[in-house]
Structure 1
Amino acid sequence: MGQCLSPCCEKQGPNSPAGSSSDSGHPNHSHTLYIAGIPVSDSKDNGCGEPNPPVTTPGSEWKMFTPYPKLPPIKKQGVSAEAKRLSLISREVSEAKILAMFEQYRDPEEDCILADGIERFCMDLEVKPEEFIVLVLAWKFGAETMCEFSRTEFVQGCKAMKVDSIKGIQSKFPELLAEVHEKQAFKDLYRWTYKFGLDTASAQRTLPTDMAISLWKLVFSQNEPPVLQRWLEFLEKHTSIRGIPKDTWDMFLNFTEQVGEDLSSYDDTEAWPSLLDDFVEYENDRHNQNVTTD
C-alpha cells in the first residue's frame, strides 16, 4: 500500500499557483490503512497532501483489506476426543440388522440358534466352534446353555458389544481377547464356564469329569498354568472321579495361582477341596517313585 492508483488530487490555495501540488517533501506525510473500508491508522500520504484512498477493483465497494497475521494451525483432536467420536458412531447399531442376523442362523423349529446354526455362525466368523474366542463370545452373550443362543442372548449380546454384523463381531475379537487377559475378567469367564458346561435340561449340578477336562483345556488355552497337564492326567488316570463339584472347579484357579510348579508351597492345613489334597499327595508319591506311571 502507499502506491497511488489514481492521479494525485490537487490542492488549490490562496498562495499556491494553479496546477501546483502540495508539499510532497514533508517528512510527516501519512496515509490511512483500511480494513473492510474503515480507516484505522495514519501513514504516508499519496504525495498530494491527502491520505491514500482505499484501493478498489472494478465492481467492488470499499473492499480494501490488509493482510491479517498468520493464525496458528488448529490443533487436531486429541486421541481421547477421537475415541469418543468413534465410540458414538459404534453405538449406532441397528436392532433390525441384529434380528436379521439371528434369523439367518435360527433353528427353523425353535426360537433360538442351536448346534447347526452355531456351526454355520462360526464358519461365517471364520473360527472353529472349539476355539477359545467362541467361548469368550458365548460368555459375552451371557449364554446359559452350551450349543445354544436364545434370541434375547444374541440380541442383547450384540448390543452390548455394539455390533450388528458378522464383520462387526469379527472386529471385536482382539478387544475381547485383550479383555480376558485381565485377571478379574478371566476369573469371571472361568467361573461362568462351569455353569455353561452343565446340562441344564437334565438339571445337572455337577460337571462330568470328561466335560470338565475339555473345558479346562479350553479355558486355559491362552495361558496354561504349569500344573494343568499333571492335574488332567491325574483325573484321567483315576476313572473313579466321575464329577467335579463347583467348589473344586473354582478353587482350582486359586490353586494354579498360589501353588508353585513343584507344589512345594501347598499347605494342606488350608481349606482346599479334598480332591486337590489327593492330587498333591499323588504327585508327591510319584515324585518319590512310590507310584508307577504306566
Structure 2
Amino acid sequence: MRRSASKKPNQPNSVTSSATDLSRSASSKGSTKEMDRIDQLFNQYANTSSRVIDPEGIEKLCSNLEVSHTDIRILMLAWKMKAEKQGYFTLDEWRRALKSLRADTMRKLRKALPELEKEVRVPSNFADFYAYAFRYCLTEEKQKSIDVETICQLLDIVLGSTFRAQVDYFVDYLKIQNDYKVINMDQWMGFYRFCNEISFPDMTNYNPELAWPLILDNFFEWMREKQA
C-alpha cells in the first residue's frame, strides 16, 4: 500500500505578508511626513523664543486663513485643539487639531474650516463648544467669572448667528443693569438653555419657579416691562 503524502501545516502566504508589511510601512511613513508638514506649518506662526503661537502669530494665521480674528471659526479651531490658554496655541494642541482635520498645509486648513463649523454645529458638540468658549476666555488660573463687556462680545460671536433676537435683547439688558459686573459659568450656560427652551419674544413658557439663574429671572421681568 502506498503511503499517503503527509500534509504540511499551513504556512503564511509570504507574498501577502510582505504586501501587508509594505502597506504598513508606507502608511507609517506617510503619517510621519504629514506630521512633519504640520510641524513646519506651526513653525511659520510660532514665536521663535517661546515656541508657541502667541497673539501675534494668531493674527498672522487669521490673515493667511483670510478670516477675522473675531471669526467664530478661529474659536472653533481653538476648541478642536483643546487649547488651554486664550491667544496661545502649543505644538501639541496644534498637532491635535490639524491631524484630526487632515490639514497639513494652509490650503487644506482653509478648506477644512467649513467642515469644522459643521462638526461644531451638531447640537451635542455645540453645547460642549459653548461651555469651552467661556473657559477659554478665563485669563487667570483661579478666575471663575468674566466681565459683562467681554460676555456681550462673546455672546455675539458664539450665539449671534443662531439666536440673534435673544442675544440682542440680553446684551441690551446686560448693558443697562447694575446688579452684575461679571457673569459666571452657571449664568452663561443658563442663557444657552434659555435660548433653546424658551419661546421668544413672548416667553410664555418661562417659569421663574424653576431653577433658572437669578439674572435670567431679572431679564424675564425686564422683557415683560418692555413688552407692556
| TM-score, normalised with respect to structure 1 | 0.64
Matches within 5 A, 1:161-240: 161-200=101-140, 203-240=142-179
The letter for the 2-side match of 1:132 is: I
Residue 52 (structure 2) aligns with: 112
**Map 1:130-169 → 2, pairs under 5 A:** 130-169=70-109
Query: Which is richer in helix?
Result: 2
Cα distance in 2 for residues equivalent to 1:119 and 1:239: 35
* 1:271 aligned partner: 211
Kept in 2, the 8 Å contact 1:145–1:200? The answer is no
Unpaired stretches in structure 2, ≥5 consecutive residues: 1-26
Cα RMSD of the aligned pairs, angstroms, is 1.7
Whose relative contact order is higher, 1 or 2, with alpha carbons under 8 Å and at least 6 apart?
2
In 2, Cα distance between the equivalents of 1:221 and 1:285?
24
Work out the CA distance in 1 between the residues paired with 2:221 and 2:178: 17
Q: Contact 2:163–2:195 at 8 Å: present in 1 too?
A: no
**CA distance in 2: counterparts of 1:194 and 1:238, whole angstroms:** 21
After the TM superposition, which of the residue ranges 159-168 and 243-252 deviates more from structure 2?
159-168
The match for 2:40 among 68, 91, 100 is: 100
Deviation at 1:146, TM superposition (A): 1.6
Classify the secondary structure of the residue corresponding to 1:207: strand
Amino acid at match of 2:47: D
Match of 2:225 in 1: 285
User: Which of 124, 127, 148 does residue 67 from structure 2 map onto?
Assistant: 127
| TM-fit CA distance, 1:239 | 4.1
- 2:190–2:213 CA contact under 8 A, matched in 1: yes
Moved over 4 A (4+): none
Aligned length: 198
Match of 2:199 in 1: 260
**Counterpart contact for 1:106–1:113, Cα < 8 Å:** yes
Question: Deviation string for 1:197-241 (max 9, x for gaps)?
Answer: 11135x321111111111110001331243221111000111442
Q: How far apart, CA to CA, are the structure 2 residues paired with 1:183 and 1:286?
A: 31
Q: Which runs of 5+ in 1 are unaligned?
A: 1-87, 289-294
Distance in 2 (alpha carbons) for counterparts of 1:173 and 1:265: 37
Given that 1:225 and 1:256 are in contact with CA atoms closer than 8 Å, whether structure 2 keeps it comes out as no
Say if 1:107 and 1:113, in contact at 8 Å, map to a contact too. Answer: yes
| Alpha carbons of structure 1 residues 239 and 269: separation in structure 2 relative to 1, 3 Å | closer
Any idea what SS the aligned residue of 1:217 has?
Answer: helix
Partners of 2:57 and 2:97 in 1: CA distance: 17
| Equivalent-residue separation in structure 1 for 2:179 and 2:48 (angstroms) | 41
* Same amino acid, percent of matched pairs: 25
